[in-house]
Amino acid sequence: MIQDIFPSRLDNSFADYTMQDDDGLFFFDEEGRILVCGKDGQLAIPRGADYPDQKAIYLFSIDDRRFFLAEGCPDCIREKLSAYTIRQMRDLFQGKEVFAAFTAYHLWRWYADNRYCGRCAARLDYDKMERALRCPACGNVIYPRINPAVIVGVVKGDSLLITRYRNGYSHNALVAGFTEIGETLEETVSREVMEETGVRVRNIRYYKSQPWGMAQDILVGYFCEADGDGAIRMDENELRYAEWTKREDIVLQPNNLSLTNEMMTVFKNGTYESLLN
C-alpha cells in the first residue's frame, strides 16, 4: 500500500524548522495540483536550494530528508515544473515520493481550507509548538482534519462484492463510505453496504487501516459476510456497477497503492481469513 515504505520511515512529529538546500519543497496551485518533475514512473520533488527565497512551512520527514510546503505558487514556478492532480500522481508514479506527495496534499488542503478563524473571522497564525493553526484574536485552535471512512469486503461463499463508482475512479473497488456523527465504524459498514447495494451483513471483522491523503482520510478496512441471499439493489446515484464476483474472476486495480486493492488481492488469493484480527 502507499504507506508501505519500509525500510524508510515517516516522521510526522512537528518542529519549527527552517528550510535547507537539500530539503524537499512541495508547491500546489489553486486547484490542488502538485508541481514536480517526473518521468518514467519516477518522481522528483523540487529542492530548497532551487528556491532559497521561498517562504515555506515544515511538514514531515522521510528518513533523513525533510519536506516543506511552499506558501503560494508564483508564476515563475509554474513555468519550470509540471502540474499533476493527486489522482494523476497515483496513476503515473511509484515509490515513497508518492506517499510524501499524498501526505503533503493532505496538509496543503487543511492549510488552504483554514485561513480564517471560524469563530471570529480573524486571520489564523501558524502555531510554533504543535501542528495547529491558532487565532491571535480569540485563541481558537484548529488541528488537521482527518476523515474516518470504511472500506468493506463483503463475502458470499467464494464471491466478493465488487463495485465501480458512478464518478471518479474507474477501476474495480469495494463498498466504501464515511463515518457519520454518532456512529461506530461497524455501524458505518452495515449502513454503507445497505445504502449502496441493499445487502445486509453480519460477522464484521477488522482487517487493516490506511492513511489516504487524497481525501484527508483514514481508511479502515473490514471484511464481513452477506446476511441472507445477498440480493443486490444498487444505488445508481453512487455506483455504476455492483456484482458478486468469483475470486478467480476478480480484476485488480492497476497498482498496489490502495487498501481496497490489497483486500481484493487477499480474497482473490484465498488468504484473507488467516489475516483477520
pLDDT digit string (tens) for 92-112?
A: 887 898 999 999 999 999 999
**The CATH number of domain 147-272 is 3.90.79.10:** yes
Q: Map 118-172 to HEC letters.
A: CCCCCECEECCCCCCEECCCCCCEECCCCEEEEEEEEEECCEEEEEEECCCCCCC
Nearest-CA neighbor of 210 among 149, 155, 276, 274? 149
| Encoded amino acid at 18, one letter | T
Q: Give CB contacts under 8 A, 24+ apart, made by 183-190.
A: 185/148, 185/150, 185/220, 185/222, 186/222, 188/148, 188/149, 188/150, 189/150, 189/152, 189/222, 189/224
CA distance 83 to 109: 16
Q: Average pLDDT over the chain, rounded to whole? A: 92
Provide the pLDDT for residue 93: 83
Q: Any idea which residue has 501526505 for its cell?
A: 103
**In the predicted structure, residue 81 carries a pLDDT above the cut 90:** no
Domain locations in the chain as residue ranges = 10-113, 114-144, 147-272
Q: Which of 113-127, 165-179, 210-224 has the lowest mean pLDDT?
A: 165-179
Q: Are the C-beta atoms of residues 197 and 228 closer than 8 Å to each other?
A: no
Provide the pLDDT for residue 76: 64
User: What band does 169 get if pLDDT is binned at 50, 70 and 90?
Assistant: confident
Nearest-CA neighbor of 196 among 145, 232, 154? 232
| Domain 10-113 in this protein, CATH class | alpha beta
Nearest-CA neighbor of 192 among 212, 219, 229, 168? 219
Tell me, yes or no, if the two domains 10-113 and 147-272 fold the same way: yes
Backbone dihedral angles phi then psi of residue 256, each to the nearest 5 degrees: -105, 30
User: What band does 40 get if pLDDT is binned at 50, 70 and 90?
Assistant: low
**In the predicted structure, residue 180 carries a pLDDT above the cut 70:** yes
Rounded to two decimals, the pTM is 0.91
Give the highest mean pLDDT range of 83-92, 168-177, 209-218. 209-218
Provide the pLDDT for residue 39: 62
| pLDDT single digits (tens) 263-276 | 999 999 999 888 88
Nearest-CA neighbor of 129 among 11, 14, 10, 12? 14
Q: Any idea which residue has 483486500 for its cell?
A: 263
